[in-house]
Amino acid sequence: MGRALIQATLSADDLTLAAALEVSGAQALGSDAGEALGVTTGIAIAADIGAALAASDCLIDFTRPEGSVLHAEACAKQRKPAVIGTTGFSDPQRQRIVDAAKRIPIAMAANFAVGVNVLFKLVDVAARALGDEFDIEIIEAHHRHKVDAPSGTALRIGEIAAQALGRDIGQSAVHGRSGETGERPRSAIGFHAVRGGDIVGEHTVMFAGTGERIELVVRSASRTTYASGALRAARFLQGKPPGLYDMQDVLGLR
């Protein structure tokens, strides 16, 4: 994902790559940020978040929850906007980002792909229109290296559907099924995770009714879609007041 972000930034006419970060001890430290892409940027990959922020107008973070929290707090200290595409936060970690957003504008989303965020809106519309007569199942697929399941995007889809129907996702979520499960509760929202190969990301939302089924599907063939959305969010944050924003705000879908 870091490579995709660097490539997208270098290709943008209105943006400049100012810094590239890795964790302390990483093998890539000191190498040129464009080396993996076969280009020379003149930017050395480093681990000093303070120096990186001093040279930048906005941080884009696709790392791990523990790193994202520290980066958000560093951004708040230097009053620099942040785009956060990491998923898998615990409640305390998310609260620290919320606290940082009281001082700076932060765009955080489970998925920055524009198509996926349009899907979020369609899920809300469909759930409200179809109501309790349609059962909801969410199927997601990702590459074998993804460490969390279900994906943050799938969980967000479930949250949107539950909210539209006035349900508590904590009570409605059913993660996979095995054995004698009994009849499906009407309020259930099913989650199913597939992991394999190099699948970038696929999400299917099934609304299954009696005699009729609606499926909303989005497939990402390249991480470029996520990078493009993240850059769009970075542009959106310029001049914005402190607060926690998401891609629905960026795309004007509120």
240 belongs to the catalytic site: no
Contact 126, 167 (CB under 8 A): no
Report the interhelical angle of 224-237 vs 2-11 (nearest 10°).
60
**Which residue out of 80, 102, 143, 146 is catalytically annotated?**
146
77 is catalytic: no
Which residue from 192, 198, 226 is spatially nearest to 142, judged by alpha carbons?
198
Peptide bond into 150 cis (omega under 30): yes
Q: How many CB atoms lie within 10 A of CB 218?
A: 22
Kindly provide the residue ranges of all beta strands, DSSP E only, lying in the chain, ordered along the sequence.
20-21, 45-46, 59-61, 82-84, 105-108, 135-142, 173-175, 189-195, 201-209, 212-220, 243-245
Q: Which of 142, 143, 192, 240 is catalytic?
A: 142
Residues classed as catalytic: 142, 146
